[in-house]
Amino acid sequence: MAGKYKESVTVVSQESIAEEIYSLWLQTADIAEHAVPGQFISMYTNDGSRLLPRPISICEIDRAKGQLRVVYRVTGPDTGTEQFAALKQGETIEVLGPLGNGFPLEAGKGRKAFLIGGGIGVPPILELAKQLDAEKQIVVGYRDTQFLLDEFGQNGAVFVATEDGSAGTKGNVMDAVAANELTADIIYACGPTPMLRAIKAYAQEHDIECYLSLEEKMACGVGACLGCVCQSRDKDAHSNVHNKRVCKDGPVFLATEVEL
């Protein structure tokens, strides 16, 4: 198992790429070197009153430069993510990572794949799209404003869904799949739970191998506190009950293994 690092990292650049969506490049000593697509980092604010980390997916990895990109949504005023958005080039923050298990790249090798991202689940799909060696159909769903579309275009065929119909198919990612009559042998997905539930049902119905990245409130991020569990089909070897830790055993799970 690769190591985890608690680092004070420097902000290389930060920009707002859509309404309330920020893109941040971080210079890391070790994390970028070990990270794989689908893993996340725990980001800590510089405000002593906020103790817990914000789990944020790795959006891009530049191993050569030792840099990581994260793309995140500011969830409101006076939140930790709002404090992240105030970070300027050269400033530092604490991060812990890389955490969790990434998307299984081998499983998709040479196959016809859906890479599905919804909302703030879109970012991890980018590094996946860059590294996955497959026939890539990238299906991304947004409420309204889109982001990262240019980068996706360089890594596969892109299909867009928007809730307000402002671009691509009006509706959700599965509507875009249907509208474009897409098919696949394997699915990778990250996004809100209702979306994942729909994808799981679709995968089951069509008997497709399917990997989902889940979300849960976290404290430790490393598997120690049992704060972030999801329900598992089988009795889990670690917990000895039907619970798996999203931070450590996930966040990516085989769809059939977990209850949503």
Partner 1 sequence: MNTTINLAGVELKNPVMTASGTFGSGEEYSEFVDLSRLGAVVTKGVANVPWPGNPTPRIAETKCGMMNAIGLQNPGIDLFCERDIPFLKKYDTKIIVNVCGRTKEDYCEVVERLAGEDVDLLEINISCPNVKAGGIAFGQNPAAVEEITKEVKKYAKQPIIMKLSPNVTDITEMAKAAEAGGADVLSLINTLTGMKIDIHKQAFALANKTGGVSGPAIKPIAVRMVYQVANAVKLPIIGMGGIATAEDAVEFILAGATAVSIGTANFFNPTATVEAVEGIEAYMRQYHFDSINEMIGLVK
Ligand X SMILES: Cc1cc2nc3c(=O)[nH]c(=O)nc-3n(C[C@H](O)[C@H](O)[C@H](O)COP(=O)(O)OP(=O)(O)OC[C@H]3O[C@@H](n4cnc5c(N)ncnc54)[C@H](O)[C@@H]3O)c2cc1C
Ligand Y SMILES: Cc1cc2nc3c(=O)[nH]c(=O)nc-3n(C[C@H](O)[C@H](O)[C@H](O)COP(=O)(O)O)c2cc1C
Only one of the segments 10-18, 144-152, 190-198, 221-229 lies at the binding site for ligand FES (rule: CB under 6 A); that segment is 221-229
Our finding on whether 140 is near ligand X (CB under 6 A) is no
Cα separation, 59 vs 22, in Å, equals: 12
111 is in an annotated binding site: no
Q: Count Cβ neighbours within 10 Å for each residue of 244-253 and write b for 16 or more, e otherwise.
A: bbbbbbbbbb
Given the complex with a second copy, which of 80 and 119 has the nearer CB atom? 80
- C-alpha 178 chain-centroid distance: 23
What's the min distance (Å) between Cβ of 16 and a second copy? 21
Given the complex with ligand FES, which of 94 and 163 has the nearer CB atom? 94
Cα separation, 193 vs 246, in Å, equals: 13
What's the min distance (Å) between Cβ of 220 and ligand FES? 3
Residue 49 binds what, of partner 1, ligand Y, ligand X, none (CB under 5 to 8 Å, by partner type)?
partner 1
**Considering only residues 28-57, where is the footprint of a second copy by CB under 8 A?**
47-50
Strand, helix or coil for residue 73:
strand
**Considering only residues 200-259, where is the footprint of ligand Y by CB under 6 A?**
219, 225, 227
Beta 135-142 vs 157-162: how paired, if at all?
parallel
Nearest 5 degrees, angle CA 67-CA 223-CA 10? 20
**Hey, how many other C-beta atoms are within 10 angstroms of the C-beta on 86?**
12
Residue 4 binds what, of ligand FES, a second copy, ligand Y, none (CB under 5 to 8 Å, by partner type)?
none
Given the complex with ligand Y, which of 35 and 218 has the nearer CB atom? 218
Q: Is 30 left (phi over 0), alpha (psi -120 to 50) or beta?
A: alpha
210 is in an annotated binding site: no
Which token pair is 155?
Answer: 């890594």
Only one of the segments 159-167, 178-186, 217-225, 236-244 lies at the binding site for ligand FES (rule: CB under 6 A); that segment is 217-225
Our finding on whether 80 is near ligand X (CB under 6 A) is yes
Our finding on whether 201 is near ligand FES (CB under 6 A) is no
What's the min distance (Å) between Cβ of 5 and ligand FES? 17
71 is in an annotated binding site: yes
Residue with tokens 């794989």: 36
Question: Cα separations (Å) of 226 from 40, 51, 134, 144, 242?
Answer: 17, 17, 35, 35, 12
Strand, helix or coil for residue 189:
strand
Give the residue numbers of the binding site for FAD. 54-57, 71-73, 80-81
Which residues of the chain form contacts with ligand FES (CB under 6 A)? 218-221, 223-228, 245, 247-248
Give the residue numbers of the binding site. 54-57, 71-73, 80-81, 220, 225, 228, 247
